[in-house]
Amino acid sequence: MNPEEHASSIAVVDLTALHENLCRVRKRSHCGAILPVIKANAYGHGAVEVARFLSGANFPGAISMFGVAFLEEGMALRKAGITHPILLMTGCPIGQIPEILRYDLTPVLFDLESAVALSRYAEKRGKIVNVHIKFDTGMGRLGLSPTEASSFVEKVVDQQGICVEGILTHFADADLKDLSFARHQLKAINRIWTNLEKGGVKIPYCHIANSAAIMHFSRAHLNLVRPGLMLYGYSPLEVKTRVQLSPVMQVKSRVIALRRVPEGVSISYGRTYVTPKESVIATVSIGYADGYPRLLSNRGVMLAKGNRVPVVGRVCMDMTMLDVSQVPSLRVGDWVTVIGAEKNKAVWADEVASASDTIPYEILCGIGNRVQRVYLHENA
């Protein structure tokens, strides 16, 4: 069955655009190792499908490992047949150690208790687990203080069953035009790496570069980069860049009702919109339960047959209303574009985010499971 035939809303994921964006990452990065960040269901695009595509024949040797946030995400990839290394970026809870080994995942460590527990469990089973160690150089979220680096790494290296494959940290503001604090963070992780090597501890990977750093801070590329948002077609930078990116996902929703109403009719909850004249109101089958922000009530815009049409009234859980008076050819059952392009008009996730006082990350990650994913590739 074609999912577009009966779906209320769909997210069309263009794998060719994903391919183009990865090629741009490879062109800009000054190292040969790439860790695509596919946490949060690949920013709403579908982690399994994205991982399958990126680990396929299109990119021989390009992907060194994938990055996810939590154990469940790594397990889902393994169950789907993904064999690349998978980095668990939020830590190694002791209770999850059996599954971490069972599914051959690479945890990030930042406390000795977890490291010792992981070592003992792995050693008893005759296994060696690759780990990365995280340092907090200014994000203030997860990681060890740089002052603890040498002593902690030495203790972890001495543990049986553990191989320290990498060290990392996380930029706090590399998306800003002013890179002074980012330079401070880069200097800190470089100092840790250098001191470890001077002490005889050789670690294959040192990484800090997110999408922002890949795009405008080449010194931070080191020997592994972690593209996230730019992989999906958007720039995280405070200022515009010449880097051409291709949005990967378009979201479309079905028109389920059309009504011609007279002047003075209130629309949706709270009666926050009243028609100023005779109008044609379309009800489309997407709402805040699907990830379309309620903040777009009376503020959002969608595309109907290439026309920008306004959201009127409050966004509901399952539905949103549009004034489509200027689109007389629109019919029940037609698609409107929630995120994407039609003809020469576009409403991309960064515009949707700006109108709802948030960031494109939240818009993309918020597209819910009721919105069916449809995958396109020019070679499919």
**306/227 Cα distance (integer angstroms):** 32
- CA–CA distance, 222 with 28 (Å, rounded to integer): 13
Count of alpha carbons within 13 angstroms of residue 108, beta-carbon side: 27
Instruction: Give the integer Cα–Cα distance in Å for 302 and 308.
Output: 6
Compute, in degrees rounded to 10, the torsion defined by CA atoms 53, 28, 66, 366: -80
3-class SS at 339? strand
* CA dist 33 → 106, 186, 228 (Å): 16, 18, 14
Please state, in angstroms and rounded to a whole number, the distance separating the CA atoms of residues 86 and 72: 12
Q: What letter would DSSP give residue 242? A: S
Q: How far is residue 213's CA from residue 267's CA, in Å, rounded to a whole number?
A: 45
Question: Which residue in 39, 134, 252, 305 is the catalytic one?
Answer: 39
- Chain center to CA of 33: 19
Element (H, E) at 341: strand 335-342
Quote the CA–CA distance of 33 and 350 in Å, as a whole number.
28
Residues 43, 252, 269, 345: which is the catalytic one? 269
Q: Measured between alpha carbons, how far is 168 from 190 in angstroms, rounded to an integer? A: 10
Q: Which residues fall within 8 angstroms of residue 252, CB to CB, at 6 or more apart?
A: 9, 10, 11, 12, 335, 336, 337, 338, 340
The answer to whether 269 is a known catalytic residue is yes
Residues in Cβ contact with 110 at an 8 Å cutoff, skipping those fewer than 6 apart: 91, 133, 134, 135, 136, 142, 143, 144
Give yes or no: 39 in active site.
yes
The contacts of residue 190 (CB under 8 Å, 6+ apart) are 206, 222
Q: How far apart are CA 237 and CA 211, in angstroms?
A: 9
User: The tokens of 6 are what?
Assistant: 């009966």
Give the orientation angle of helix 47-54 with respect to helix 15-28, to 10 degrees.
60
Q: Which residue in 115, 152, 150 sits closest to 131, CA to CA?
A: 115
Catalytic residue numbers read 39, 269
